Chains A and B, each alone.
Chain A
Amino acid sequence: MSERKKTTIILFSGDYDKAMAAYIIANGAAAYDHEVTIFHTFWGLNALRKDEQIPMKKSFMEKMFGKMMPRGADRMGLSNMNFGGLGPKMIKGVMKKHHAVPLPQLIEMAQEQDVKLIACTMTMDLLGLQKEELMDGIEYAGVAAYLADAEDGNVNLFI
């Protein structure tokens, strides 16, 4: 194959189920030998957060955001039937039964398949997230870098 096709996904949502859909499509597209980019912005950035608390110098608002948002993919809630955190527990149980791959492993697999994970730096500033709090091996960029990938993309999704 001379020219590889491209899939670009914007992950805006911080919901476990929506992020799961995004990462399943990303892994599928990588298996299709596409060059895949996931651009994480706003609540989607939480999928890239490390699960431990990293002490950082932050303003009061930034600290509040940091506390209120889920620390990492495994702590994200559901877009539907969240039931105050009970929903994710239930769905993870069902997923285990059906051998569906949990979100943290989908993210790991995407990295193994060379899916490019990008964190939007502008919304990182808004939410007070710093590089040290996000996973290793990701890239940092803005809208122009995303568009450069998307403009000659074949599949483009906003989730």
Chain B
Amino acid sequence: MKIDKVLDAKGIACPMPIVKTKKAIQELESGQVLQILATDKGSKADLTAWAGSQGHQIVETSEESGVFSFLIKKK
């Protein structure tokens, strides 16, 4: 999948991942994909809830050695 922008949110704590994700997605066009890398353990629940509420689609989530990766497609 083509990734249009990567947001490195590793090491930052709540509420920063969500605040930064919102800013980052504002800079994308509809249909473009944002990858978010985060280490906050709450980020999975947070980003899933946020994307659902905002109407963006979570295309993929994965975890590798404590780093979560999310691919979100802007609505």
| A residues at B contact (CB < 8 Å) | 24, 27-28, 30-33, 98-101, 109, 113
Q: Output the least CB separation between A68 and chain B (Å).
A: 32
Contacts of B22 in A (CB 8 A): 30-31, 33
Could you say which of A31, A32, A101, A113 has the most chain B C-beta atoms within 10 Å of its C-beta? A31
- Asked if A24 and B14 make an inter-chain contact with CB atoms under 8 angstroms apart, the answer reads yes
- Asked if A99 and B15 make an inter-chain contact with CB atoms under 8 angstroms apart, the answer reads no
* B: number of interface residues (CB 8 Å): 13
Closest to A109 in B: B19
**1/0 per residue B42-68: CB within 8 Å of A?**
000000001001100000000000000
> Given known contacts A98-B13, A99-B12, is B18 in contact with A28 (CB within 8 Å)?
yes
B16 within 8 A of A: yes
Could you say which of B16, B18, B54 has the most chain A C-beta atoms within 10 Å of its C-beta? B16
**CA of A33 to CA of B50, assembled, Å:** 10
Contacts of A32 in B (CB 8 A): 50, 53-54
- Asked if A31 and B13 make an inter-chain contact with CB atoms under 8 angstroms apart, the answer reads no
Contacts of B69 in A (CB 8 A): none
